Amino acid sequence: MPFKRPLLSSHTTDDSESQSESSHGGPSKRRRVSSPWNIEKDKPIVVYILQAKIHPEMMSELAMLVENHKVERGNKSLEGPSSVSELNLELTGDVEKADVIVTATNMRQRLERHVEWRIAKTKAIVTPLWLQDSVKSGRPVPYRSYIAVHHLEDETSRSHDTVQDASSGSSSNIPSEVEKQTEPAELVDATEVELLSHTAKYSCLRPSPLVCPNQSLVKEIDVIRQGRNVEGEERSMLSYSRAISVIKAYPHVITEHNIRDIHELPFLGVKILSMIEEFLKTGQITEAQTMLANPRFQSLSAFITIHGIGPHTARRLYDLGLRTLEELERYYEVKPGVSDEETMPLLDAEASANTEAAGERSIKIGLALRHDLGQTIPREEVEEINGTIMRELGHIQKGCKSVIAGGYRRGKPQSNDVDIVITHTDWNLGSQKVKGLCRKLVQRLHEQGLVTHVMYLSGFHEHNVLRTHHWDSLEKALTVFVSRHNSSRRNVYRRVDLIFAAPEVFWTAVVGWTGSTMFERDLRLWAKQQKGMKFDSSGISRRHDSKLYHPRTERDVFKVLGLVYIHPTLRNADA
């Protein structure tokens, strides 16, 4: 079973933000070890990693996280005060001595096969993501968003007030955006997962974890998919994308003993199967290795990392004799780290992002700031950016709420950019209150020095059942945001996309912008082929009479489409 992760990080701009999300009506009968800050400051958090359902490679990585972090603490005096971590971990092989049990098991019955229930009830039972996020943060993050076993959820959640008290005491510099969530984190429901099938034709019917048992194989095949992509071979690229999505959902490690089983899976043709067999024998695929060594592939792959450069433009630039990003900088007359491109006029008039001038402007910005924009963004910083934006929005319009979508919502520890979907909490009047708000927010963020460039800006358009392209009709701004994250010694440029949706299509927008790409593609196909509907981020409609559907929750989106709800962390149908 894939690891359980927080569903989302959300924010509101009204006064309810300051209210606690957990009110359990009275103190618990006994103090549990369910908050990291319940442990004495200088005493290490003793961690027991339950090996069941954790791949040996992952097991080794988790153990190294604990051991390496302990070494860092031991040497901290040599590094100076700035390196002092508030996280002190110790690995144990004795479950009774542990403060925390890290496990991929999410059912009581399975946990009891390895840990007696009387012991489990005295421990914090968390997913591996807790350990990973704690090490990244340099401090123990609250357990409640990483609860592994539903039967202990209520007991663990009672520690919320303890966490708040501790964070305002000796660890007052620890507050995180996790405490600012206005909705409880939702965990993977095992009963829903059991209704899904890894043999299904559509990826919106399959559970696809972020990291699958055959991730190294997926990575190798993805090189070939990328090669087809940069060369503009879209049909071939789609075939490899579909094969990858099927392998991502396969719940077992593929071996020579069970390879016959995968012959029954969809979209795995003779060529793909032969590649899998080669990988099992050699640990690599010849075509992928040849492609990685190909100078043309290297150049085209580097070019498309720049915002505004797609495969077609990349090939055109290559045909001009350009081979490196440094040569692109000279071609576009760009100085690294400095962008003088003026994009704020986009706020004053409707400007098409499809014009040649706008496209070149985006490329110049992407090139100039590529060293920052190419860095990945940790979850804590993503949440910080969301909080900053929603605070600024509160000065313009009260009562708005947001959900961070994209890879963050699917459980990625690092994001390439930040996608924030925003609406108003007033179901009846919210659509009018958010109309034109995107432009006003970007203007304010620019005035506050938080947004330097606008790559794209669009206004609202009605959901069009006849529209054939997949670029939704929501009001949105693709911006360059100045992040002032505490861990950075300087301001860093980040790609932040702001998407505004009316309340009646908010959850459709959240589903659409959460991804992954193949998951969304199959959602559209399923809606069209199986339900006679049209789905995209801006709404759901029935094709024969254009009837619109207005789901009030994310689960309602799946219900309207006749699908079993799939947790965001199981929508990773891409490599």
Q: Does pLDDT of 508 surpass 80?
A: yes
Q: What does pLDDT average to over the chain?
A: 82
pLDDT: which is higher, 173 or 324: 324
Question: pLDDT exceeding 90 applies to what percent of the chain?
Answer: 57
Sheet with 100-102, strands from edge to edge, namely 89-91, 45-49, 100-102, 124-126
The C-alpha atoms of residue 555 and residue 457 are separated, in whole angstroms, by 30
pLDDT greater than 70 at residue 75: no
Q: Are 34 and 159 in contact (CB under 8 A)?
A: yes
pLDDT for 486: 58
Residue 341 pLDDT: 67
26 pLDDT more than 80: no
List 400's β-bridge partners, or say none.
424
Going by their DSSP bridges, the two strands 89-91 and 418-424 should be labelled as unpaired
The average pLDDT across 36-49 equals 68
Least confident range of 107-116, 509-518, 566-575: 107-116
Position 486, amino acid: N
- Residue 501 CA to its chain's centroid (Å): 20
Joined together, the tokens standing for residue 328 give: 């692109």
Least confident of 285-289, 346-350, 442-446: 346-350
Residue 145's pLDDT band (boundaries 50, 70, 90)?
low
With H, G, I as helix, E, B as strand and everything else as coil, classify residue 394: helix
Q: Is 129 helix (H, G, I), strand (E, B) or coil?
A: helix
CA distance 254 to 283: 12
Q: What is the DSSP letter of 2?
A: P
Could you report the per-residue pLDDT of 510-545, keeping only the tens digit for each?
Answer: 999 999 999 999 999 999 999 999 999 999 999 999
User: What integer pLDDT is reported at residue 63 of this predicted model?
Assistant: 85
Tokens describing residue 5: 């992760």
Asked if the model's pLDDT at residue 495 lies above 80, the reply is yes
The pair of structure tokens assigned to 542 is: 């029935």
3-state secondary structure of 575: coil
Which whole number is the average pLDDT over 551-561?
Answer: 97
| Helix axis angle, 295-303 to 215-230, nearest 10° | 90
Q: Read out DSSP for 273-341?
A: HHHHHHHHHHSS-HHHHHHHT-HHHHHHHHHTTSTT--HHHHHHHHHTT--SHHHHHHHTT-BTTB---
Mean pLDDT of 463-472: 48
Which whole number is the average pLDDT over 63-74? 65
Question: How far apart (Å, rounded) are the C-alpha atoms in residues 329 and 312?
Answer: 18
Handedness of CA 391, 393, 394, 398 (dihedral sign): negative
Chain position carrying tokens 């792959």: 301
By mean pLDDT, which of 113-117, 248-252, 541-545 is the weakest? 113-117
Strand partners, 424: 400
CA dist 222 to 238, 242, 557, Å?
A: 11, 11, 30
The pLDDT value recorded for residue 296 is: 98
For residue 147, the cross-strand partners are 126
Of 79-88, 295-304, 337-346, the least confident: 79-88
Write the pLDDT tens digit of every residue in 82-100. 344 567 888 888 888 999 9
Q: Per mean pLDDT, which range of 334-343, 464-473, 514-523 is the poorest? A: 464-473
**Is residue 239 predicted with pLDDT exceeding 90?**
yes
Mean pLDDT, range 547-562, rounded to an integer: 96
- pLDDT of residue 233 exceeding 50: yes
Which ranges of 332-456 does DSSP label H, i.e. alpha helix? 356-368, 370-373, 379-394, 406-409, 430-434, 437-447
More confident residue, 138 or 527: 527
